[in-house]
Amino acid sequence: MAVEPPKPKLKERVHPEAKAELAAAARRYSAQKKGLGSDLVRLARNVRKDLATSADMWAAVPDWEEPPLLQWRSVPRFPYKIIYYSDGTNLNVIAYTHERREPGYWHKRVGFWDSLDGAAISTK
């Protein structure tokens, strides 16, 4: 039985508005309980690291029928999902979306990197 070589790690690219919404959510949680916002950021980072090597294993976003194939993964302990797509080289994070608020607000972000013609985006 042949062993498959490990998949290359995808480079993370996070949409600027996604970075801002994660920071805002972390501030709200920190206001509720000290350290809770830091937990959210840490767990979201851990999910992104995992996605960088296993992006294709997670569920497709329901009712999204256009390219690229959008997928999502939940952030443990929090009602947030990471909406992303992989282009084979990059893990493109579109949104950190709350599971019960404003569905679909992030649709306009799809294609963001295409419009920049490959310009580098902050990964953190």
With tokens 């709200």, the residue in question is 28
Sort 19 into a burial class: Cβ within 10 Å, 0-12 / 13-18 / 19+: middle
> What is the chain's Cα-based Rg?
15
More confident residue, 113 or 32: 32
Q: Domain spans of the chain?
A: 11-104
Q: State the first-to-last Cα distance of the chain, in angstroms, to the nearest integer.
A: 39
Strands 90-98 and 11-14: parallel
Query: How far apart, in whole angstroms, are the C-alpha atoms of residue 25 and residue 30?
Result: 9
Q: What is the pLDDT of residues 52-80, one digit of tens each?
A: 999 999 999 998 888 999 999 999 999 99
Q: What is the pLDDT of residues 9-61, one digit of tens each?
A: 999 999 999 999 999 999 999 999 999 999 999 999 999 999 999 999 999 99
The CATH class of 11-104 is alpha beta
